[in-house]
Amino acid sequence: MSLSLPVLEPSVFYRFPSTPLPQLASLVPPLAPTKATRSSHTTRDQRRDIRLLYEIGWSYKQIHDYLPFHPTYEQIKYVVKSSQATPKKKTGRRPILTQAQVEDLVFFVCSSTQNRRMSFSQLATVMNFGVKKDAIRSALLREGFHRRLAMRKPPISEKNQKLRKAWAEEHVKWTMDQWYQILWTDETWITGGRHTRTWVTRRPGEEWHPTCIVERHQRKKGWMFWGCFHGHTKGPGIFWEKDWGSINQESYCQRTVPIIHGYIEMMRREGIHLVLMQDSAPGHAAGDTKQDLAERGIIVIFWPPFSPDLNPIERVWHIMKNYIQDNYPENLSYDRLRAAVKDAWEKVGEFEFRALIESMPARYQAVIDADGLFTKY
């Protein structure tokens, strides 16, 4: 919307090109206070006052400081560059809901998880404004709201929220050398084919065309994989064989702990002293597991529960799954899937690990900024 001022009679504006600025204040009578306005929507009188002071040689700052409603620099610039005295009338259909109703609607939507998940039709019924879903949709759209897929994150209790924030505050100032001393570990379940949402380019009515369909297969074959890294160095990886059963206290101590112990000892002989990071999965947090690790002399750092965003190895799993998605077809046999997982693990290199470690200060600062709650990582 563009605003412009009409050409006024010569008696309206006065130029004092040679008058010192301190004397100009005495030439301009004090203005009565006026109500501040939003954005660039100044009134006709306010625009007149801005234009008058600018025409007699005042700077933007002097105009801002002198006028009672203290226009922003953008407002002043907008007025002096315009040629109309009054804004053009808004075109289009007037909103059905009043501003008060829109504010009530926004407050209601943002007040709870349940309300966030309501459809436009449900909101139209619950709010009882006497309108249909299209009016609700239009009102929320003007306020910047859209229906989006909800992000999936682990639950965070009030207790764990405090633990996460305290942990982040304790480690946000760590140096790169300190981050390099942690052996990051975790397991992931990997299946063949796509693991991300699929977008297609199509016309209306083509949603059921075979080229626009993502086939859904039941019981997709998968493989459990355990891996670790420290600094920009990749550690060992374990393909959890099918006959090993699920990962629990007994199998973790039998299959994984000896690999961790052997690798930490090998690094120690090279002068690299690592401490172990593992999450609080049942097999990791079991008493016998902790005892086994302690007897082997492995130092385990405390880890806040439900905090995958603080563990950079989670991003490694995403990199691997992207690689398999791009380079291997759907419905791989177990042998082919095992080969695909091995190939993907080998493709993750020093550059990715180094970038992940360098992201640690930002990760932990994000937790602090979120007061211990969810982050983008």
What does the pLDDT look like over 312-325, one tens digit per residue? 999 999 999 999 98
Residue 39 has pLDDT above 50, yes or no: no
> Which of 142, 175, 205 delimits the end of a domain?
142
Say whether pLDDT at 305 is over 60. yes
- Burial (CB count <10 Å: 0-12, 13-18, 19+), residue 329: exposed
- Assess whether 74 and 138 both reside in one domain: no
Average pLDDT estimate for 342-354: 93
pLDDT > 70 fraction of the chain, expressed in percent and rounded: 83
The DSSP line for 299-319 is: -B----SS-GGG-THHHHHHH
1 compared with 343, residue with greater pLDDT: 343
Query: Does 87 or 100 have the greater pLDDT score?
Result: 100
148: in domain: no
Give 75's pLDDT tier (boundaries 50, 70, 90).
confident
Q: State the DSSP string of 222-272.
A: EEEEEEEEETTEEEEEEEE-GGG-S--HHHIIIIIHHHHHHHHHHHHHTT-
Nearest to 237 by CA among 254, 260, 221: 260
Beta bridge partners of residue 233, listed in sequence order: 230
- Residue 195 has what pLDDT? 67
Q: Residue 277: pLDDT above 60? A: yes
Angle at 104 between CA 102 and CA 107, to 5 degrees: 110
Task: Assess whether pLDDT exceeds 60 at residue 19.
Answer: no
Check residue 311 and give its pLDDT: 93
Asked whether residue 70 carries a pLDDT value surpassing 50, the answer given is: yes
Question: Does an H or E element contain 364, and which?
Answer: helix 360-369
Q: Are residues 57 and 199 in the same domain?
A: no
Q: Is residue 151 part of a domain?
A: no
Inside any domain, residue 55: yes
Provide the number of structural domains found in the chain. 3
Given a cut of 80, whether residue 26 has pLDDT beyond it is no
Verify that 227 and 338 share a domain, yes or no: yes
Q: Rounded CA gap, 125 and 228, in Å?
A: 52
pLDDT in tens, 228-266: 999 999 999 999 888 888 889 999 999 999 999 999 999
Does one domain contain both 229 and 182?
yes
Last residue of a domain, one of 90, 110, 128: 90
Range of the domain at 317: 160-369
Instruction: Let me know whether 328 and 201 are in one domain.
Output: yes
Q: The domain that contains 294 carries what CATH number?
A: 3.30.420.10
Task: Quote the mean pLDDT of the chain.
Answer: 82
**Statement to judge: residues 84 and 107 lie in one domain:** no
What CA–CA distances, in Å, run from 1 to 44, 71, 90, 324?
15, 19, 8, 50
Distance CA 312, CA 180 (A): 12
Query: Is residue 154 in a domain?
Result: no
Instruction: Give pLDDT tens digits for 208-226.
Output: 777 777 666 555 677 889 9
Do residues 85 and 114 share a domain? no
Q: Is 85 inside a domain boundary?
A: yes
228 shares its domain with 353: yes
Alpha-carbon distance of 253 to 247, in angstroms, equals: 10
Same domain, 166 and 137: no
My answer on whether 56 and 194 are in the same domain is: no
Same-domain check for residues 267 and 243: yes
Q: Is residue 364 part of a domain?
A: yes
Q: Answer yes or no: is 30 within a domain.
A: yes
- 155 domain-assigned: no
In the three-class reduction of DSSP (H, G, I as helix; E, B as strand; rest coil), residue 57 is classed as coil
Phi-psi bin for 226: left (phi > 0), alpha (psi -120 to 50), beta? beta
Instruction: Check whether residue 117 and residue 166 sit in a common domain.
Output: no
Per-residue pLDDT tens over the stretch 149-162: 777 777 888 999 99
The DSSP call for residue 31 is P
